[in-house]
């Protein structure tokens, strides 16, 4: 959960009532507020102009440098650095600076200037204290590390998310963090981007004390005047940073990094390990090398595509708007999807009732919810409160008070329409009726409704707690206000809405179906399933099509494939008879414990093939991934979606499509549209018309 914001400006105003002389009553700074209290302590508040969060841009750092130069001369009793923003301390660098970067020398120059500012802060010959609330990330944490002491408000969170952008820390963090905190803790944080809370930061020695807002001034005075009991650096830090030990640890880190991502796809973790291992104890050399390494990474396709993905997420967040009016949700169907949708809504603070024809599925859904809450919520009281918001509802009484009803019953038109007939008369005026259908056009679902204008599609993806996308499906009779309210709801539960027009498979399932069906064809060709999955994983997809089919459910894959073939594309290969037999036997994949793989504890058991796995060929990868790009172009041409960038975002956030490639359309653009079209034609000649390039390629660039 996001830390609760504090009213920092109120605190500042309260403080100013008792301030003594100030450095400048007029406050000449654009992005800062500088004051001095009666004890001679300077309070420097980051308050970036025209932004809800503090980020480090070139002009912010330049102004910061000027203030530090002033403080070097005036020498106050001490310096307190904190934020005036309720959202937190500093969220990191302004990523706009790096968008489209192509010249590593220009990046080196820019980062070197930033290093100079942070070094200047570190070198101040007065006590310096960072007071941290909310998020303290990336460059913000590097600012805090340059201060001599750190005080955390109990809602603070710390981390280095640069790896998510294909980078590593670039303002001295690789050096200062591993000097202060054990490399066994510091390096994994930088390598994975995970964050920690204030208590964990205190236990690691990252912060000296954790306090509440009302005690900040007392803690600051203790720090400035030498009364604060400082965190002691563990002797293990020096031992683990020693040369011989670094080599051993670095080797282990590379092994762990390789399990998560290949070096050719995600070079940043490996560059960070190399940086830390090579410069053993030579601080100045490592700081200099950090600049060069950061600049080299910045201009790689991986970093530029991941930066693009960052902005795609922001673009899709904006589609939601902010006017959410849904407070009570009723979910019908407590299966894998319905139960997990209900749990996620409850976790996000909504009151949820969960209905099913039998008690057993509801009980299973509540159990899964408790397990989920236990993993993602830090406090037991938060787990309890979330479970209290999730109410079993065998009689379906929750319909009457719900602002939104989500139907998540099996993919059968007559069953869904039967459900609607029972609940529509009990819905309150203005309530939204949403279906989680993955493929059935809303034009068919709405035919029996008295008020079809309030029907929308809200298509979540499995697993709900991890995949951020929700397709918001419209039809030609939907009320625009209902549609806008549905998109606002998606944003309110921390998900990314993708507006799509109703058509078979919408966008994501339509794009995934040829991917998985082609894998079935390859199985018919006697290609081993592990080779097929390895081909997709080599391209950078999070899992292969065989494992994905098991994850989704073979019954659902079969139904969606049949539907798309009959309604949209007869050139799609028919489902093999042996797949139908597996479904008939109840071997449906993960949900039954057996499909193509045997599943235990939610993971597929992949037995190594005797003699090893044959490396996948380039043609196999093209057969799997190029049809996805082809379908995305078709959906653009047909007006199912209207924005190529959002299509890429949808495929990344809804399927895990290799983020470092920037999405299926960006991949096609990077590879070259002519190359993609030529390859598709060649595949069509060899394997059949399902590979024919869509007409939309002629207008795509």
Nearest to 469 by CA among 481, 452, 457, 478: 457
- Contact (CB, 8 A) for 427 and 396: no
Decide if 475 is catalytic: no
- Residue 692, burial from CB neighbour count under 10 angstroms (0-12, 13-18, 19+): middle
Give CA separation, 405 vs 351, 402, 635, in Å: 12, 6, 28
- Find out whether 115 and 69 touch, Cβ atoms under 8 Å: no
What are the structure tokens assigned to 259, written together? 């399990």
Residue of 115, 168, 459, 475 marked catalytic: 459
| Cα separation, 402 vs 325, whole angstroms | 11
Q: 107: how many CB neighbours lie within 10 A of its CB?
A: 22
Per-residue HEC secondary structure of 313-379 comes to HHHHHHHHCCCCCCCEEEEECCCHHHHHHHHHHHHCCCEEEEECCCHHHHHHHHHHHHHHHHHHCCC
Residue 102 token pair: 């192509």
Tokens of 479: 């009320």
Q: Tell me if 697 sits within 8 A of 676, measured CB to CB.
A: yes
Q: Which residues contact 425 (CB under 8 A, 6 or more apart)?
A: none
Burial call 293-326: b when 16+ CB within 10 Å, e when fewer: bbbebbbbebbbbbbbbbebeeebbebbeeebeb
Give how far Cα 534 sits from Cα of 365, 562, 570, Å: 33, 26, 28
Helix (H) or strand (E) holding 489: helix 480-492
Q: Catalytic site residues?
A: 459
């Amino acid at each position: 959960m996001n830390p609760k914001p504090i009213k920092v400006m109120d605190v500042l105003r309260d403080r100013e009532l008792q301030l003594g002389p100030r450095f400048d009553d007029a406050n000449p700074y654009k992005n800062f507020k500088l004051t001095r209290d009666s004890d001679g302590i300077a309070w420097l508040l980051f308050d970036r102009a025209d932004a809800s969060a503090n980020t480090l841009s070139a002009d912010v750092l330049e102004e910061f440098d000027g203030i530090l130069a002033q403080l070097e001369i005036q020498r106050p009793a001490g310096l307190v650095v904190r934020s005036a923003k309720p959202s937190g301390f500093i969220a990191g660098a302004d990523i706009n600076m790096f968008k489209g970067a192509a010249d590593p020398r220009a990046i080196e120059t820019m980062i070197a200037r930033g290093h100079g500012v942070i070094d200047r802060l570190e070198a101040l010959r007065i006590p310096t204290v960072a007071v941290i609330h909310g998020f303290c990330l990336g460059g913000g944490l590097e600012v805090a590390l340059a201060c001599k002491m750190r005080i955390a408000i109990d809602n603070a969170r710390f981390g280095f998310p640069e790896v998510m952008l294909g980078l590593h820390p670039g303002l001295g963090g690789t050096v200062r963090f591993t000097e202060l905190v054990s490399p066994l803790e510091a390096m994994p944080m930088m390598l994975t981007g995970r964050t920690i809370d204030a208590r964990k930061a205190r236990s690691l020695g990252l912060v000296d004390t954790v306090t509440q807002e009302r005690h900040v001034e007392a803690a600051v005075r203790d720090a400035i005047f030498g009364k604060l009991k400082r965190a002691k650096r563990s002797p293990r830090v020096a031992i683990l940073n020693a040369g011989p030990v670094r080599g051993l640890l670095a080797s282990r880190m590379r092994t762990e990094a390789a399990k998560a991502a290949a070096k050719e796809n995600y070079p940043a973790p490996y560059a960070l390990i190399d940086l830390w291992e090579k410069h053993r104890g030579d601080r100045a050399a490592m700081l200099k090398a950090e600049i060069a390494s950061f600049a080299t990474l910045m201009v790689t396709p991986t970093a530029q595509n991941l930066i693009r993905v960052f902005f795609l997420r922001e673009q899709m967040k904006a589609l939601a708007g902010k006017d959410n009016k849904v407070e009570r949700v009723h979910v019908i169907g407590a299966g894998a999807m319905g139960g997990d949708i209900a749990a996620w809504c409850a976790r996000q603070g909504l009151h949820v009732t969960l209905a099913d024809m039998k008690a057993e599925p509801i009980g299973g859904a509540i159990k899964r919810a408790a397990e989920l809450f236990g993993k993602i919520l830090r406090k037991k009281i938060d787990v309890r409160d979330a479970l209290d918001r999730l109410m079993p509802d065998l009689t379906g009484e929750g319909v009457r008070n719900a602002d939104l009803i989500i139907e998540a019953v099996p993919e059968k038109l007559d069953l869904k329409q039967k459900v609607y007939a029972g609940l529509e008369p009990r819905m309150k005026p203005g309530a939204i009726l949403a279906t989680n259908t993955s493929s059935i056009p809303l034009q068919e679902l709405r035919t029996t409704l008295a008020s079809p204008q309030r029907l929308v599609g809200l298509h979540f993806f499995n697993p709900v707690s991890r995949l951020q996308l929700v397709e918001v499906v419209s039809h030609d009779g939907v009320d625009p206000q209902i549609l806008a309210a549905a998109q606002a709801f998606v944003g309110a539960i921390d998900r990314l809405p993708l507006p799509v027009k109703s058509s078979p498979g919408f966008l994501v399932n339509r794009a995934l179906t040829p991917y998985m069906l082609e894998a079935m064809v390859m199985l018919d060709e006697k290609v081993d399933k592990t080779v097929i999955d390895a081909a997709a994983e080599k391209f950078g997809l999070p899992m292969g099509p065989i494992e994905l089919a098991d994850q989704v459910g073979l019954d659902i894959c079969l139904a969606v494939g049949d539907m798309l073939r009959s309604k949209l594309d007869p050139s799609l290969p028919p489902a093999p008879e042996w797949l139908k037999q597996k479904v008939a036997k109840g071997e449906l994949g993960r949900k039954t414990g057996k499909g193509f793989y045997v599943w235990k504890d939610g993971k597929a058991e992949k037995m190594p093939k005797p003699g090893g796995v044959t490396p996948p060929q380039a043609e196999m990868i093209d057969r799997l991934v190029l049809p996805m790009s082809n379908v995305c172009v078709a959906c653009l041409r047909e007006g199912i979606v209207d924005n190529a960038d959002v299509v890429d975002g949808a495929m990344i956030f809804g399927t895990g499509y290799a983020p470092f490639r920037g999405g299926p359309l960006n991949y096609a653009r990077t590879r070259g549209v002519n190359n993609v079209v030529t390859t598709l034609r060649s595949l069509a000649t060899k394997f059949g018309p399902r590979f024919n390039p869509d007409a939309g390629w002629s207008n795509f660039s």
